[in-house]
Amino acid sequence: MDCDVAILGCGPVGATLANQLGAAGLDVVVIERDARVFPLPRAIHFDGETMRVFQSLGLRAEVESISRPGTKGMHFVNAEDRVLMVRAGTAAEGPQGGANNHYFHQPELEQVLRDGLGRYPNVRLLAGREAMAIDEDGDGVRIALDGEPPEVRARWLVGCDGGRSMVRRAIGSTNEDLGLHQPWLVFDAILERELDLPDHTVQRCDPARPMTMCCVTGQRRRWEIMLMPGDDPEAIARPENVWPLISRWVTPADARLERSAVYTFHSVIAHGWRRGRLLIAGDAAHQTPPFLGQGLCAGIRDCANLAWKLVRVARGTAPESLLDTYEPERRPHVLAFIELAVRLGAVIQATDPAVAAERDARFLQGEAQVFEYPQPGLGPGQHAGGFGGVLFPQPRLPDGRRLDEALGNAYAVLGEAATIDAADAATRERWRAAGAVVLRDPGEAVAAWWRTRGLSAVVLRPDRYLLGAARDAHELASVSALMA
């Protein structure tokens, strides 16, 4: 079975990438060991940028139907429930064209993404098939499977095969370890009657038993509870041992336990996301402890960064070297989130009472600290530097549409009419050849971004990060020259 791109793993990252490549018309085969979506509790939060990527798949409405916007943020409290620190929440429409935070049940999201593949006859999902071996040669990759068909041949293989990735091993990547490895019990409960529980996320920094409590969707509630020395990881996940841990908030008379599992939270990032025709994305490339709810988001950003490059290289409209920009651009961005999650982990996971008391005294000195997610730019790569590599927002156009609805998944040139009209013929030809959408004077909400920075035009890559920004037609020509 031959294809342009084989994707190993149909978790959220593999399914997202398959939707992107399928929409672009590539022949894609997705190989997934499990016949159905993985049912155990994992991610419950994604951010506004991640929703914007789902929007680019044409699945925004479907994802909205299984998620809820989170407006109240995340509160870090001590054992006496005093607020130490807050990740801000807001009910307002954020810069990405919707809520800044969304809550969901990962198996439902994965089902939406998997169902989305049905739109593309050029995407074939081999579910219930395990990849056993990978051979790469100059022309392509051969993936040996455990059943029929016995093998898949692809021009490119992307390993979205999770933390134990065999593609990462085949690449020979090394893992940089950021030091956090801690087992936690994770379980979801379905409330069967109304209870007075917080509707924001609570990180209980109780040295006797650190714990996270979240409102997911509908009646579903999530608890994540740190294992303490002496806990038996198998025994603690049994219902008779789970309930006493949360009896202060809920009892078997109020709710039913849906699923429970013990996970070890890791903080690692691979060096080497590509070798030849092999690439990795998502947990295969990096894992972050879930204290920020960002592991899956990072994987979805990998897809946004990689898909448009892979499409152009596979079609022969960009040189293969474009793929070399994937890791250098994404790595520092992911690292910023992992490092913050590790720092928060140190706050939450302090189990020495003296250390926790010192921490509480430090945080309780003034007002509770309020923080936001980091907003790093991309590392060096396919952009002009300066504003290049910065994520452009998604404001509303004068007709009420979100910006990306008018742009599709192409390059975009946005700017003052005077700057765009002054572009020379060669620049216009570049825009045409790259299939760029050009918007002159797209309305104040969009133009505010460049006007407040003394600029007059921007060029956006298909992933909505800036290729570059320009003050005038001359600079616009230089930025446009970078279009793949």
- To ligand FAD, the closest distance from the beta carbon of 296 in angstroms equals 3
Q: Does 69 bind ligand FAD (CB under 6 A)?
A: no
CA 89/CA 73 separation, integer angstroms: 4
- To ligand FAD, the closest distance from the beta carbon of 208 in angstroms equals 21
Nearer to ligand FAD, 10 or 466 (CB): 10
Nearer to ligand FAD, 133 or 370 (CB): 133
Alpha-carbon Rg for the chain in angstroms: 23
C-beta atoms surrounding 182 within 10 Å:
16
Among 70, 97, 293, 389, binds ligand FAD (CB under 6 A): 293
- What would the x/- binding string for ligand FAD be over residues 72 to 111, using CB under 6 A? ----------------------------------x-----
Count, residues near ligand FAD per rule CB under 6 A = 35
Are 262 and 251 within 8 A, CB to CB?
A: no
Q: Which residues contact 8 (CB under 8 A, 6 or more apart)?
A: 14, 31, 131, 143, 157, 158, 159, 160, 161, 166, 167
Element spanning 475, H or E: helix 473-480
CA 144/CA 6 separation, integer angstroms: 12
Tokens coding 39: 């049912």
CA 377/CA 383 separation, integer angstroms: 11
Nearer to ligand FAD, 224 or 360 (CB): 224
CA 197/CA 159 separation, integer angstroms: 40
Among 49, 283, 404, 463, binds ligand FAD (CB under 6 A): 283
Q: Does 290 bind ligand FAD (CB under 6 A)?
A: yes
Among 140, 282, 381, 462, binds ligand FAD (CB under 6 A): 282
- To ligand FAD, the closest distance from the beta carbon of 284 in angstroms equals 6
Among 127, 263, 368, 471, binds ligand FAD (CB under 6 A): 263
Q: How far is CA 293 from CA 43, 87, 296, 318, in A?
A: 7, 11, 8, 35
Site for ligand FAD in 118-157 (CB under 6 A): 130-131
- What would the x/- binding string for ligand FAD be over residues 25 to 64, using CB under 6 A? ------xxxx---x---xxxxx------------------
Axis-axis angle for helices 12-23, 295-315 (nearest 10)? 30
Binding site for ligand FAD (CB under 6 A): 8-14, 31-34, 38, 42-46, 106, 130-131, 160-162, 166, 186, 263, 282-283, 290, 293-297, 299
